[in-house]
Amino acid sequence: MLLAVFTAFAQPTHTAKITIRIVDESGKPITNAPVSTSVIDGYRMGSEFGEEPVYKRITIFTDEHGVAVMTAPGAHADFNYVVMDLPGFYFGGGTYTFKESSIIGRWQPWNPTVELVLKAVGVQVPMYARQVWDQKIPDQGKPVGYDLMVGDWMQPYGKGTNADFIFQFNSKLTKTITNTAPTYNGTRTWTQELYDNRLTLHFSNDGDGIQSVTALGGGLRLPRFAPTESYQPVLSKREWLEQATNQLNRSFIQRHSDYNKDANYFFRVRTAKDTNGKIVSALYGKIYGDFSQNIGHGNIYFNYYLNPEPNSRNMEFNTKSNLFKNLRSLEQVGAP
């Protein structure tokens, strides 16, 4: 995944030499790990854009010290490397950016050393994993529950029976702009509405909530275990349009959104507490990506994983054990 695509064919290529050390999370060297990269091995006539590059895959296995020394002719300055299909470990990779090239066609510095930490596969558990794609919130302006185990809205809008997530979409018209433009037989007039849209996520139980988390990268995107604290009872996403003026004093419409493509979340639902306020039961899960990339029409997008075992915070998904059956689910994506 990190190897195949180089977006700038005009970028110069030279010979690169790099030493890559592969270790586990304790710092112990990993032997016989296949470290791969792709380099340009030549060019061929393309169908539309002239010559196109032909890539070659180079794979070096690490020695007893966990070291692989790679010499790669035809490498770009951004040198991508990856370890995949190593039993007992998730895939991992990285990019090293060489600073400059020498007059003899070598990237500099020559033979730098980098380290890659691979995450071991732990105890992978069955989960409810689903990709909710372009789902319209059934009742605009009112809270509507979504059942994560059923994968549907609450009744009467769907088959859900437990409101794990409660979504509410509110759209406010802030301004209507009238525009005119000359045409060959006069002028054309049209209107454009400016809006302020908000998508809010609430929860059903005291102790339920959500929190953002930074991705780790590699085959295990998030930490193995969901945290026990710092869950927030509300998450709000906003998208709005406003009229702005550029440097030429011309008016234009500017779109704003707090959607974050790099967002990830842990969540806790179905929380039960004893008389002292201590949590005695809860379900934990994770979300890859943000909740929406376009909330202008009250539609939502999100990818979730729910561990159905009460009080288990294990977030390592067994991609062969999706508890959803006959649904478009994340089992097809294969993300742990």
Q: Which domains does the chain have, with CATH numbers?
A: 14-117 (2.60.40.1120), 125-322 (no CATH)
Q: How high is the pLDDT of residue 234?
A: 98
Which of 233 and 191 is assigned the larger pLDDT? 233
Question: What's the chain's average pLDDT?
Answer: 89
102 band by pLDDT with thresholds 50, 70 and 90:
confident
Mean pLDDT, residues 204-213 = 97
63 band by pLDDT with thresholds 50, 70 and 90:
very high
* Residue 2 confidence (pLDDT) above 50: no
Q: How high is the pLDDT of residue 190?
A: 81
**Residue 109 contacts by C-beta under 8 Å, 6 or more apart in sequence?**
98, 99
pLDDT digits (tens, 9 = 90+) for 134-152: 888 999 899 999 999 999 9
* Residue 222 confidence (pLDDT) above 80: yes
Token readout for 90 is 């998730």
Q: How high is the pLDDT of residue 314?
A: 98
* Residue 46 confidence (pLDDT) above 80: no
